Amino acid sequence: MTRLGAGERVQRLLAIVPWIVDHPGSRVDEVCRRFSIDEPDLLKAFDLLPFVGVHPFSPDALIDVVLEDGRVWLHLAEPFGRPLRLTPEESLALVAAGRSVVATPGFDGDGSLARGLAKLARSLGIDDEGAVDVRLADEVAPDLLDRLRGAVRSRQRIRLDYYSYARDEHTRREVDPFQVFADAGRWYLAGHCHRAGGDRVFRVDRIASAEILDVDFEPPAPEARPGTFEPGPDAPRVVLDLGPEARWVAEHYPCDHVEPLDDGRVRVTLAVTARPWLERLLLVLGPDADPVAVDERLGGADVRSEAAARVLRRYGNDGPLR
Amino acid sequence: MSQKLERLLNLIAALLETPRALSAEEIRARVPGYPDEAGPTFRRAFERDKDDLREMGVPLRVETVPGTDPPQTGYRIPRDEYYLRDPGLEPDELAALHLAASTVGLDGDHGLGGLWKLGGALGGDGGGGEVEPLGRLPADAAVAVAFQAVAERRPLTFRYRGEARTVDPYRLDFQLGRWYLTGFDHLRGEERNFRFDRIEGELAAGRPRAFERPQGAVPGVERASWQLGEGEPVVADLLVDADHAALARHELGEAAVTEERADGSVRFSVGVTNRAGFRAVVLGHLDHAEILGPPELRDDLVAWLRALVAP
> pLDDT, tens digit, for every residue of A213-272?
999 998 887 766 666 556 667 788 999 999 988 888 887 787 888 899 999 899 999 988
Does the pTM of the predicted model rise above 0.90?
no
pLDDT value at residue B253 = 83
**B101 and B196 fall within a common domain:** yes
If you write DSSP's letter for every residue of A14-34 in order, what string do you get?
Answer: HHHHHHHHHSTTEEHHHHHHH
Give A282's pLDDT tier (boundaries 50, 70, 90).
Answer: very high
B220 within domain boundaries = no
Under CATH, what is the fold of the domain A6-81?
Arc Repressor Mutant, subunit A (1.10.10)
**For residue B87, cis peptide bond before it (omega within 30 degrees of 0):** no
Q: What's the Cα-to-Cα distance from A26 to each of A3, A16, A205, B65, B272, rounded to whole Å?
A: 25, 11, 49, 41, 62
Counted domains in chain B: 3
Percent of chain A at pLDDT exceeding 70: 93
What average pLDDT does chain A have?
A: 85
**B63 and B101 fall within a common domain:** no
Question: In this complex, which of A133, A314, A319 lies closest to B306 when CB atoms are compared?
Answer: A319
Q: Does domain A142-224 have CATH number 2.30.30?
A: yes
List the single residue in B with minimal CA-CA distance to A288.
B308
pLDDT value at residue B128 = 42
pLDDT value at residue B23 = 93
Q: Could you report the per-residue pLDDT of A94-105, keeping only the tens digit for each?
A: 888 888 888 887
What's the average model confidence in pLDDT over A50-59? 80
Give strand pairing partners of A182. Answer: A187
What average pLDDT does chain B have?
A: 85
d(CA A20, CA A46): 12
- Phi, psi dihedrals of residue B233, rounded to the nearest 5°: -75, 145
CATH of the domain at B279: 3.30.70
pLDDT at A25 over 70: yes
* Chain A residues closer than 8 Å to B301 by CB: 315
Q: Which of B22, B147, B171 to mutate to test the interface with A (most CBs of A within 10 A)?
A: B147
Query: Are residues B57 and A85, on separate chains, in Cβ contact within 8 Å?
Result: yes
pLDDT at B124 over 50: no
Domain stop point among B205, B236, B261: B205
pLDDT value at residue A322 = 46
**B96 and B163 fall within a common domain:** yes
If you write DSSP's letter for every residue of A34-96 in order, what string do you get?
Answer: HTT--HHHHHHHHHHGGG-B-TT--GGGB-EEEEETTEEEEES-GGGSSPBPPPHHHHHHHHH
pLDDT at A14 over 70: yes
* Chain B residues closer than 8 Å to A317 by CB: 302, 306
Top-confidence residue, B106 or A284? A284
CA distance B38 to chain A (A): 18
pLDDT value at residue B287 = 93
Query: Are residues B134 and A104, on separate chains, in Cβ contact within 8 Å?
Result: yes
Query: Are residues B5 and A124, on separate chains, in Cβ contact within 8 Å?
Result: no
Domain stop point among B60, B82, B104: B82
B213 within domain boundaries = no
Give B230's pLDDT tier (boundaries 50, 70, 90).
Answer: low
Residues of chain A with CATH 1.10.10: 6-81
**B140 and B234 fall within a common domain:** no
**B99 and B199 fall within a common domain:** yes
Q: Could you report the per-residue pLDDT of B35-76, keeping only the tens digit for each?
A: 888 889 999 999 999 999 988 889 999 999 988 888 999 999
What's the average model confidence in pLDDT over A299-317? 91
pLDDT value at residue B103 = 82
pLDDT at A3 over 60: no
**B112 and B74 fall within a common domain:** no
B219 within domain boundaries = no
Size of interface A-B (CB pairs under 8 A): 358
CATH of the domain at B64: 1.10.10
Do B100 and A98 form a contact (C-beta atoms < 8 A)? yes
pLDDT value at residue B125 = 34
Show the beta-strand stretches assigned E in A92-236: 132-134, 156-164, 169-183, 186-193, 198-203, 207-216
Domain that holds residue B58: 3-82
pLDDT value at residue B267 = 96
Give B129's pLDDT tier (boundaries 50, 70, 90).
Answer: very low
B217 within domain boundaries = no
